[in-house]
Structure 1
Amino acid sequence: MTPVAPLSPAAASDPGTLCLVDLPVHRVTTIAGLASQGGEAFAGVLQRLGELGFMVGETISVLQRGPGGREPLAVQVGDTVFALRRHEASCIQVKVPA
């Protein structure tokens, strides 16, 4: 797998990608990259997500959303399940599922 580098603003707004927060539950897709609207404040979040295995090309799906459809989001990356806050999930860009 390729290490995740922050996406450029143009790539983050690519019509072929969407934010993980917007991915419907149980829809399987792949990670396109990590992007943040928060600038330097989110640099640590992006680094940590990469360290946890959120890598370009990895299979990902949202398994469940918290109460009221909010947070946490239970997501599966490969064979591992994570609980993410909305601001963390908003940093993950995925390919639009077919």
Structure 2
Amino acid sequence: MGLHELPLRTEAWVLRLDASDPAQDRDLLLRLLEIGFLPGEPVKVIAKGFPSADPIAVRVGHTTFALRHHEAALVRVSATAPVVGGLA
């Protein structure tokens, strides 16, 4: 699911960034990576604008950012915690 679809105050984890046109969205994808939207990072939607739900206040790690709806849609998340390591 996209980060823009995540219900308020629901814990999730970043899976990947997913752009329909990576060449066109290159700068935006790079900015999202630079501010911490990396695979495995915990994320939570903490507020949405009114009345259009834009922008979206998102906490990634320990930092809060405001993202536009279309920016949040590029961030694919999972409500299931990532598996770290494995049995040896």
Whether these two folds match at TM > 0.5 is yes
1:24 lines up with 2:2 in the alignment: no
Change (3 A) 1:63 1:69: farther
Among 62, 70, 74, the alignment partner of 1:87 is 70
Q: CA deviation at 1:96?
A: 3.5
Among 35, 38, 41, the alignment partner of 2:24 is 41
Distance 1:60 1:66 in 2: 18
Q: CA deviation at 1:40?
A: 1.7
Higher Cα radius of gyration? 2
Q: CA deviation at 1:70?
A: 1.7
Q: CA deviation at 1:69?
A: 4.5
Unmatched tracts of structure 2, length 5 or more:
82-88
Number of equivalent positions: 81
Among 62, 77, 81, the alignment partner of 2:45 is 62
Distance 2:21 2:65 in 1: 22
